[in-house]
Structure 1
Amino acid sequence: MSKNNKDKELDKMYKELLEARDSARAANKSEGNRLLSFFVGLLLLGGGLFMIFQNIEVTSSWGYSGSFFRIGGFGLPNGLIMLPIIIGIGMLFLMDKKIFGWVVLSIGIIIVLLSVMMTTHLHWIRSSAFTFIVMFGMTAAGGAMVLKEVFRKD
């Protein structure tokens, strides 16, 4: 092989190497932009949700209205709904098969959580239209940016 052919072959390999490097740089740049877009979207989504939750007031009437937890037409005093928890804890210490104690304890915890959640009230705090638009706009834009990057097909 002559020196001229070797030079042409080396030039051809060098050009292919440069093209591969440039395409890899372009891929890395677009990957970096995608990652930046994802995290900016995540920040917008988080900021918008934070602002929304800051404008919601949570109140509860648990323990009021005669201190009764109502199931249908039957009312239980709020202190009485703690009874399954106390019985469940006692069963854990007294019984050999602790599964029954765990079941009773779990049912008691579920009853207490349900009674609190059923008496919880959410109220929107008065806010300006600008604040409202910013909150929900940030949430929508951030959610869209995150979903766009998560479900992007390449």
Structure 2
Amino acid sequence: MKQRNELAEFVVGLAMLVIGLYLFTSRVSVSSSFFSYGISYGSVHLPTGAVFIPFIVGIIMLFAKPESFLSKLVAALGLLLIIVSIIMSVHIRLQTITLYEWLLYLITIFGGLALVCRVLFAKPKD
């Protein structure tokens, strides 16, 4: 039985994974419309400024009653609403690519990932 060089497998797999992810992400464009249109979820449309109101109310409550659990909860939920709103307003688009490029991306990403996982999750030798 032939001996495997696990370090070489890991390095080659990691290099394939990094190169594949770099090639793939270089063809993806990301944009956001958070400050221009507001937030829409289904039929509910919320202007951008309205997203900040719960956070502002929570901050005012924190200054009025700093020991209150409710004020901390409102401020935290307001901040969470802002973060979720920003994430929901992000648009990710894959630019037009050829089938050859797509296959190249898939083979390098998942082939590299398979090699790395093969080394990391291998059964220990006796």
TM-score calculated relative to the size of structure 2:
0.77
**Cα deviations across residues 50-80 of structure 1 (Å, max 9, x unaligned)?**
221221111233344xx44335544332101
2:101 to 99, 124, 131: 131
Aligned residues with identical type, % of pairs: 27
Aligned pairs for 1:25-44 (under 5 A) are: 33-44=5-16
Counterpart position of 1:77: 47
SS of match in other structure, 1:127:
coil
Query: For the residues of structure 2 that align with 1:118 and 1:37, how far apart are their CA atoms?
Result: 39
Q: Could you give the per-residue CA deviations for residues 112-154 of structure 1, whole angstroms, max 9, x where no partner exists?
A: 2222222322211122333322222110111110111122113
- Does 1:142 find its partner at 2:89? no
From the CA coordinates, give the structure whose radius of gyration is larger.
1
What do the CA deviations read for 1:68-114 (whole angstroms, capped 9, x no partner)?
Answer: 43355443321011011222222333323154333212211221222
RMSD of aligned C-alpha atoms? Answer: 2.4
2: CA distance between counterparts of 1:115 and 1:151? 38
Instruction: Identify the residue that residue 25 of structure 1 maps to in structure 2.
Output: none
Q: Distance in 1 between matches of 2:41 and 2:107?
A: 41
Task: Give the distance between the partners of 2:79 and 2:34, measured in 1 at CA.
Answer: 15
1:47: which partner in 2?
Answer: 19
Give the helix-richer structure, 1 or 2. Answer: 1
Note the residue ranges of structure 2 that are not aligned, 5 or more in a row.
none
* TM-score normalised by the chain length of structure 1: 0.65
Identify the structure with bigger relative contact order (alpha carbons < 8 Å, sequence gap 6+).
2
